[in-house]
Amino acid sequence: MFHTTFQLSGRMAIVDGGGRAINVRAAKQQAILAVLLLRPGGVVSVDRLMTELWPDELPATARASLQTYVYRLRRTLAPLAAHGVELTTLGHGYTLTVPDRAVDVRAFERRFARGSQALAAGEAAEAAGLLREALDLWRGPLAPGIEVETVLCERRRLDGVHLTASELWVEAELRLGLHNSVIPELERLVEAHPFRESLWELLLRALAGRGRRAEALAAYRRLRDILSTELGIEPADRLRRRHQAILEGASF
C-alpha cells in the first residue's frame, strides 16, 4: 500500500512510506513543489513558474535558476519513484505525477464531496462521518509562508471549502439530534467568522434544540449588534424568522 504523504495543509511536509521526513528546505523549491502538487499531472510551463517565483521582475538568471531548482527537487523526490512519484520535463514545462490519494488536501476534498453528497441524499450519519474525516485531515491554511499566485488562489478556495465542510458537519449532527456536541464548535466558528449568518443560524438551532432558549436569544442579539455596528444592516430574513420562532417557543 502507498503510504507516502504530501502535506500541504498547515505546513508543507513530505513523509515517505517508512515514516521518514523528506526535506525540501529552499523556499523557491518549496514554491515549485506546491504549484506542481496543485496541478497534478498537468504541465506547468517554464514561463508560468518563472512568473510565480519572480512576479515583479524577472532576474536575468531566472531561467537558469529555475532549472537548478527543478534539478535539485527532482533529486530530492527520486527515492519516491517506486511509489509513482515522478517529476518530468514535458516540452517547455514540468509535470509532477503523484497518486491523488497521497496529497492531503485532495483526500480532504474527496471526503468533503462524498459527505456533501450523503447529506443531500438524507444520509445524515454517513455524512457526519465523512465530513468529520475530512475535517480531521485539515491542519490549517494551505502551505503558509508560500506566497505565489497559485498557492494564494488555492488557499482562499480551500479555506472556503473547509468552512463549508464545518457547516455541513454541524448540519448533519443536528439532523442526528446531537445538538450539544456542536455548540462549542459553533461558538468558536461565529467568533472567527462573525459576519457569516449561516453559522449564527446553526448556533440558534443548536441552542434552541437543547432548550437553551435564553442563550439562543442572546446569540441573536449578539449577531444583530455586530451587523448593526460593523455593517449598518439587520440580520437576513431567515434569521429574523428563526428568532421569531424561538420567541414563540418553537422547538427544533
The CATH number covering residue 248 comes to: 1.25.40.10
pLDDT tens digits for range 208-218: 999 999 999 99
136 located within any domain: no
Last residue of a domain, one of 34, 69, 99: 99
CA dihedral 151, 153, 154, 159 (to 10 degrees): 120
Taking the CA atoms of residue 138, residue 142, residue 145 and residue 148 in that order, the dihedral angle to the nearest 10 degrees is 170
Domain boundary among 65, 99, 133: 99
The list of the chain residues with pLDDT below 50 reads: 1-2
In a domain, 88, yes or no: yes
**Dist CA 36 CA 44 (whole Å):** 7
What pLDDT is recorded for position 19?
82
Look at the chain and report how many structural domains it folds into.
2
Is the pTM value of this prediction over 0.85?
Answer: yes
130-146 burial, b for 16+ CB within 10 Å, e for fewer? bbbbbbebbeebbbeeb
What pLDDT is attached to residue 96? 95
- Residue 189: what pLDDT? 97
Pairing mode of beta strands 13-15, 5-7: antiparallel
Has residue 131 been placed in a domain?
no
Which of 99, 122, 146 terminates a domain? The answer is 99
Spatial separation of the C-alpha atoms in residues 23 and 238, rounded to whole Å:
50
Domain that holds residue 37: 5-99
